[in-house]
Amino acid sequence: MEKNKIKTEKEYRNICAAMDLLIDKGTCLGDMELLTDADKNEYVRLSAMVRTWEKVNYPHPIPANPLIARIQWGMAEQNLKQKDTAILLGINEVRRSEILHGKRAISMRLAKSLSKNLHIEADKLLDFA
């Protein structure tokens, strides 16, 4: 990994975890301001990297339907291309596209496939399908 650039989803998750550790450290001290200057500077550096990564990989506006966002997150998490996602879910690419654009409802069969293959929680499927 370059010093100030995230290249993969795994690096992104690792940096988020490192930021969480710094937040925990600040919380244990009673305030983030009580962190050492080195820790504060590291937190600022990491947060700038995350902001840049999220701007490219998670652009706003976030889809109105949280289920669509969760499906997209699952695809990214497993590094699935759109075609691979359709195959994994047992649907064609046109249907996958219609679902991700909110133009088609999710069937019970597809809901089961989403739960099994992209690890989407049943309550999200029920709430937003």
- Token pair of 81, please? 């291309």
In a domain, 1, yes or no: no
- pTM, entire model: 0.48
Tell me the C-alpha distance between 113 and 92, whole Å: 14
Q: Does residue 9 or residue 65 have the better pLDDT?
A: 9
- My answer on whether 76 and 120 are in the same domain is yes
pLDDT single digits (tens) 2-58: 578 899 999 999 999 999 999 999 999 998 899 999 999 999 999 999 999 888 887
What are all long-range contacts of 47-50, with beta carbons under 8 Å and residues at least 24 apart?
47/19, 48/4, 49/4, 49/5, 49/6, 49/15, 50/6, 50/12, 50/15, 50/16, 50/19
In a domain, 13, yes or no: yes
In a domain, 36, yes or no: yes
- Token pair of 73, please? 């997150």
Count of structural domains, the chain: 2
- My answer on whether 70 and 119 are in the same domain is yes
DSSP 42-53: HHHHHHHHHHHH
- My answer on whether 71 and 123 are in the same domain is yes
